[in-house]
A and B are shown apart, each in its own frame.
Chain A
Amino acid sequence: MKRVIQGLFISFLFIGILAPQVSGCVGRILTLAISNSPDQQIMGAILSVYINERTGTTVKLTHPGDIQACHQAVLSGQANMYINYLKPAERILGLKKTENNPQRLYVLVSQGFLDRFKLVWLKPLGYKGPLTSSLTPGKDASLAAPVVSVETLRKFPVLDRLINKLGGRIDSNTLEGLEGSTKGQGTKKAARDFLKALRLI
């Protein structure tokens, strides 16, 4: 796991240095808030490579803290997007009745987030999280999905269409394989190779 973190640190450093060089006035920067769980680190790399390759938009990764902190970062406009999970989202909404059917819960949560926070839930990625450091789902694991502000989708009109192509394509086994790949070649290259293999870039 240490290798993943090191690899990601180097990737973030690279993006951080390059971002001001290429953003310009015509280019734009999209800020993605991620927490420290292994799945968020890997998804941060995948999303940043994918969005940059297919839109030319530079993605800046930020680490405000846990999921709640990422949620607040997007609400306050400090970030454009983060990755949330259905169960923590259910708690954020304070739903009175617990819903155990993932599909129904997704509908409830996405509608609640849109109404209350003006945040849009994109398609679930496929895996359940957040993952622990041993890459196993925590006891309260549920489907993960990118969450984007309505304002961001207005500025980046193809973003939802693009990211939804990742929907359902990253399950727990895939994440485990990616974690293994990062040990050999670094996170950014692993993310790029993964997206190339899926013919997404």
Chain B
Amino acid sequence: MKIVVCVKQVPDTKGGVKFNPDGTLDRGAMLTIMNPDDKAGLEAALRLKDQYGAEVTVVTMGLPKAEEVLREAMAMGADKGVLVTDRVLGGADTWATSTTLAGAIRNLDYDLIITGRQAIDGDTAQVGPQISEHLNIPVISYAQDIKIEGDSVIVERQYEDRYHVVKAKMPCLITALSELNEPRYMTPGGIFDAYKADITVWGRADLKDVDDANLGLKGSPTKIAKASDKVRKGAGEKVTLDPDEAVSYIVDKLKVKHVI
């Protein structure tokens, strides 16, 4: 079995967030981590590899430094890494990203594609399902459990109060939740092996069956009007009043602020 896992290098929320003048994230200037949902997807792939035997290829699109997440994935146990990087792919929204990733994945053999549900920087949950549309394969999103049966996958699809058991023929795409599992740690030896391994680097020219009009910032229908870091709130106001007085006080405050 061949599994492709899409991972994204995202800003570490412990560090500060920095923006480019056009409102997109300045990814080069921020501390980064592997997106948590993607890491769960990778862990799911590695468990399938442990259980059934599989070759796991990790694909990421990003700046050259996104290679770090591929090395991390390989230090956890992934077999191969593909970095898709090109200036013309920068500033991509979900449409341009999914177009790019699908263009890269068309070069690979796969039975299963696993992506995270969503990335903590964009929070759209669109890229995984869009890739499946581009590749014309079924998608099962929000997986909380994955099993293989013959040429099919059986997935528990999570809802708030229940789950559905969905069976789909491979090849198909699954989006994983960070609640799916506890990702394994890397191993020290795995880290050094990962840095000795070759990473495949693809640019625009290597993408298969994609149109330039659907790539990068120019090919992104999403236009950012304004972006800002969250603003710290003030310390607030503390008052000690009797209940009746307190209610009047709060109501007055809300009126002043035109909340009521």
A and B pair up: no
A residues near B (Cβ < 8 Å) are none
